Amino acid sequence: MTEKPTLLILAAGMGSRYGGLKQIDKIGPSGEAIIDYSIYDAIRAGFGKVIMVIRKELENDFREFFGNKLDGKINLEYVYQELDNLPEGVSLPSGRVKPWGTAHAVLVAAASINEPFMAINADDFYGMEAYKAVAGHFATNHDPSRHCMVGYELRFTLSEFGTVSRGICEYSDDLMLKNIREVTNIERKSGKIGYEDPKHGWTILNGNTYVSMNAWGFYPGILKIFENGFAQFIKQAGTDPKAEYYIAKPLEEMMKKQWGTIRILQSDARWFGVTYRDDKISAGENIIKLIHSGLYPDNLWS
């Protein structure tokens, strides 16, 4: 790979459980948001550009937050995830206010992407090793239909303050992804990790299994698969105001039709995030520990 990969940050979510604009909430000691650490780690791993997917109404907030602190360090471009950003001939269902989901967020950046890219959530801390692992995949892999995903063990991705939704991965012994199952309401109870299944009640999950935290390494050819899948999704979703086009959906189709594969990357990366407002304190404490261990400076951009 000669071209530098792009970091695509999905930052258009509404943050309903958090109760605010968590994407740029200040958590680090010098006013950094988690998103700052993601960009810092991507720069260190050799990424060449950042594309931020936001809602148009939040543009001023983001531009004010970033100001000129990235000038000379990496190029930053904004694209907008809007409800009316739809395939030709498709109209917006009345009453729809919720964004169309993570796969649609990737799609709205398609015109700006011509190189391998890593897609991440804005409010998740993935760890420096995650960016190195994806950059390493792009540097050594020569098959543009073989994409990748950074795997995180389920037990390290829970919140102390409520349930979480996770993409539970099914994979072969050589870590090729076979399926992703979206499971909601996962929590730890009496030392066990599980969820309430509508049919079977409390169902235990293996805490060592890999889950998707939306840390993906994609080649640009995948965008056509996302586009075709979104047109189908819109037809099927109809007027459901909450239907979302998740990244796992087009990937499922891709694997089924054997258009491409996804390798789960193992790394020492440790995740943390801010699903709930109360998560902010522990996230800040985690960052301080990483600073004290020498991984980050007190002030990222000074």
| 51 or 20, greater pLDDT | 51
pLDDT of 61 higher than 70:
yes
| CA distance linking residue 144 with residue 232, whole number of Å | 24
Q: How many distinct structural domains can be found in the chain?
A: 1
Q: Let me know if residue 297 belongs to a domain.
A: no
Residue closest to 144 by CA, chosen among 238, 32, 3, 288: 3
pLDDT of 278 higher than 70:
yes
Least confidently predicted of 10-14, 196-200, 264-268, 294-298: 10-14
**Mean pLDDT (the chain, rounded):** 91
| CA distance linking residue 33 with residue 24, whole number of Å | 5
Identify the pLDDT of residue 300: 96
- Give me the CATH number covering residue 35: 3.90.550.10
Rounded mean pLDDT of 63-77? 95
Name the phi and psi angles at 10, rounded to 5: -90, 105
Q: Let me know if residue 66 belongs to a domain.
A: yes
Identify the pLDDT of residue 108: 92
Identify the pLDDT of residue 133: 97
Q: Let me know if residue 1 belongs to a domain.
A: no
Q: Let me know if residue 163 belongs to a domain.
A: yes
| CA distance linking residue 277 with residue 271, whole number of Å | 17
Q: Which residue range(s) make up the domain with 260? A: 6-292
Q: Let me know if residue 194 belongs to a domain.
A: yes
Q: Let me know if residue 302 belongs to a domain.
A: no
Encoded amino acid at 186, one letter: I
Q: Let me know if residue 75 belongs to a domain.
A: yes
Q: Using one digit for the tens of pLDDT, what is the confidence trace for 230-273?
A: 888 887 776 677 788 999 999 999 999 999 999 999 988 889 98
Q: Let me know if residue 148 belongs to a domain.
A: yes
Q: Using one digit for the tens of pLDDT, what is the confidence trace for 188-244?
A: 999 999 999 999 999 999 999 999 999 999 999 999 999 989 888 887 776 677 788
